[in-house]
Structure 1
Amino acid sequence: MPKNILVIGGTRFFGKLLVQRLLRAGHRVTIATRGYAPDPFGERIARVRVDRRNENAMRAAFGHSRFDVVYDQMCYSPLDAAISVRVFGGRTGRYVMTSTIDAYRELEPAGRAFVEDDLHVEAQPIDACYPWHDPARAIESYVCGKIQAEAYLYRDGSLPCVTARLAHVLGGPDDFTGRLAHYVDLVRRRQALPYSNPQAQVSFMEAKQAANFLVWAGEQDFTGPVNAAADGPLSAYALHARVARTLDETAHARQAAQVAAPGSLSPFDFPSPLVLDTSRAQSLGYRFGHTDDWLDIVIRQHDLAYV
């Protein structure tokens, strides 16, 4: 049965793929966007131009609307979560927030893959005075903002909420983060990768898989946090070597002389593993593929963009 669905942010990367899949399934889709990025959907969707961080604007846009599912790709802080609660509370059947693997990054290494309950999210402090909407602090506040957004949603409890903690998402040329492109560039320039711990594996998933998972999560009736990742985690060192092998190049790497801040040497370089346990999603019926199924293809797509 077609559903009435709102996607907050759906014009870039896997958000765009999410909208495509919802349309293919026959749903009525509205996207909420600031209008800065074009989209390819034409008259197949409805568009609402709105600043997601402006509560008055959000109330004016959606205060009288009802949605079967709201996908929130732009919830980055407890202030954003509070706006969602006040605008969509009692007006949506399901609220799916895109969260992140990085929510586990500040925890002590567990010696195993992280499960959802490792992060005691409802016990997290919420800082309502921090300048969450200051663009200059967007990078430094990303992880704590996501954690506190989850904390606000679950502590409030009025939205039927799922927080999808996605592994690091890799995609083709539409991947605006430039993280996989960084490794392709290093290999093609024959420059050495500085790395910390070659055993510190990280979970990944492909952009299409991220979109597919979000569609699935919106169709279910469970609530709470859920991890999503492909099988086959890789360390930054192993990812660089995989890029070199795929492109028929020689991998050049050197171990850093001292411990560096996480991610400072290269994207996905961490001093300890950051791997997701996906048992919950699998017990609910979702099946993840393996990085071997798609990684080489995505690497080659970035190589074409590099050329």
Structure 2
Amino acid sequence: MQKNCLVIGGTRYFGKLLVQRLLRAGHRVTVATRGYAPDPFGERISRIRVDRRNEHAMRNAFRDRSYDVVFDQMCYSPLDAAISVRVFAGKVGRYVMTSTIDAYRELAPRDTALREADLPVLAQRIDTAYPWHDPARAIESYVAGKLQAEAYLERDGSLPLATVRLAHVLGGPEDFTGRLAHYVDLVRLRGTLRYTNAAAKVSFMEAQEAADFLLWTGMQDFRGPVNAASDGALSAFDLHARVAEVLDETPRSLNLAADAPGILSPFDFATPLALDTSRAKALGYRFGHTGDWLDDVIRQHDLAFV
């Protein structure tokens, strides 16, 4: 059945892939964007130009609009969550917030895979004084912002909420984070990986599957948080070794103490940060394995390196 869908932040990376999938499935799609990034969708979608962080602009943009599903890729703080509540409450059939594996970094270290219930969202303090919309603090506030956004939405309870805690997403050259590219560059330049714990495995998923899972979630009716990750977690050490193997290079690495000074690589943690995806699987979703896609993504980044 065709649904009327809004994607907040659908012009780059897996947000753009989500829009592609919605269109292929026959849904009506509107993208809310500030208008800075072009998109390839032409007349197949509607566009609303709006600053997602500006409540007055959001209220005006969506005053007389309702949607079956809202996919919010841009909910980065409790302020953003509060705007969503005041703009969309009573006007959407389903609200899907894209969250992150990094929300679990606030927990005490543990060796077991992380379940949704391990994160006590309702107990999370919401900091109303922090300057969440200060662009100079966007990186340092990311983890706390996502966690407090989840807390606000759960505590308020007026939106039909599903919160998708995505594993670290790896993609091709459109991956603007540069995290996988870091390992490709390091191997091609014959640099040395500095790492802390070769056994500290982290969950990943490919950008295509992140979009697939978001689409699937939007069409379901369950509520609350759900983890999403490919099977087969990898440590930073494992990832670097895999890149070297795919590119037929010799990996060079140096084990450091967890508190050693110096810059470490992305995904290098002292303790594991892996997701338990039992809930999603019990609801009917089947994830792929990192071995199904990682080599191809590495090669894409290698071509970009050239």
TM (norm. structure 2) is: 0.99
> Shift of the alpha carbon at 1:106?
1.8
| In 2, Cα distance between equivalents of 1:243 and 1:219 | 36
User: Helix, strand or coil for the counterpart of 1:130?
Assistant: coil
**Percentage identity across paired residues of the two chains:** 75
Give yes or no for the alignment of 1:289 onto 2:288. Answer: yes
| In 2, Cα distance between equivalents of 1:109 and 1:200 | 11
Does the CA contact (< 8 Å) of 2:111 and 2:271 recur in 1? no
Distance 1:113 1:50, change over 3 A: same
Q: Which runs of 5+ in 2 are unaligned?
A: none
Q: How does 1:85-234 map to 2 (within 5 A)?
A: 85-234=85-234
> Shift of the alpha carbon at 1:260?
4.9
> Which residue number corresponds to residue 277 of structure 2?
278
1:250 alignment partner AA: T
> Which residue number corresponds to residue 246 of structure 1?
246
User: Helix, strand or coil for the counterpart of 1:47?
Assistant: strand
> Shift of the alpha carbon at 1:72?
0.2
Distance 1:272 1:258, change over 3 A: closer
Does the CA contact (< 8 Å) of 1:259 and 1:271 recur in 2? no
Does the CA contact (< 8 Å) of 1:94 and 1:159 recur in 2? yes
2:85 alignment partner AA: V
Does the CA contact (< 8 Å) of 1:72 and 1:98 recur in 2? yes
User: Helix, strand or coil for the counterpart of 1:5?
Assistant: strand
> Root-mean-square deviation (CA), in Å?
1.1
Does the CA contact (< 8 Å) of 2:8 and 2:31 recur in 1? yes
Does the CA contact (< 8 Å) of 1:233 and 1:275 recur in 2? yes
Does the CA contact (< 8 Å) of 1:194 and 1:266 recur in 2? yes
Does the CA contact (< 8 Å) of 1:51 and 1:58 recur in 2? yes
| In 1, Cα distance between equivalents of 2:110 and 2:285 | 24
Q: How does 1:59-78 map to 2 (within 5 A)?
A: 59-78=59-78
Does the CA contact (< 8 Å) of 1:99 and 1:164 recur in 2? yes
Does the CA contact (< 8 Å) of 2:89 and 2:158 recur in 1? yes
User: Helix, strand or coil for the counterpart of 2:106?
Assistant: coil
Paired residues, what number? 306
User: Helix, strand or coil for the counterpart of 1:149?
Assistant: helix
Does the CA contact (< 8 Å) of 1:17 and 1:208 recur in 2? yes
| In 1, Cα distance between equivalents of 2:43 and 2:65 | 20
